[in-house]
Amino acid sequence: MARPERDVIDFSALERELKGAIECEQRHKRENEAKLRAVTQRVSSYSEFRDLVLSSHLKPLEKKDKDGAPRRQPWNPVAPSNK
């Protein structure tokens, strides 16, 4: 007996949806942690609070990251490139 088209599972679409949901959950968690840190730091204004939350995806530089050293990744991977 043949299965109707509507019963066929599109695994690639399901995988894309899962990846999107995981990214959304990670973003939500990261931004929530940034909000809690900003509240405990008692930021002086809402704009400062907002800036802390919006920059939560950035990672701090390490000691090995020196000026003039070859870059392994762009400074801000979220920003669009001008190439």
Which range (5-9, 11-15, 41-45) has the least confidence? 5-9
CA 40-65-22 angle, to 5 degrees, is 55
User: What's the confidence (pLDDT) of residue 7?
Assistant: 80
Rg, the chain, Cα only: 20
What stretches of 1-83 show up as alpha helix (H) in DSSP?
A: 11-40, 46-54
Q: Using the 8-state DSSP alphabet, how is residue 45 labeled?
A: S
Does 39 score more than 60 pLDDT?
yes
Q: With a cut of 80, say whether residue 24 has pLDDT above it.
A: yes
Determine if the pTM surpasses 0.75: no
Region 7-23 average pLDDT: 93
Give the per-residue pLDDT at 46.
Answer: 92
Residues with Cβ within 8 Å of 81's Cβ and at least 6 positions away in sequence, in order, are: 74
Instruction: Name, of 15-29, 40-54, 59-73, the range with top average pLDDT.
Output: 15-29
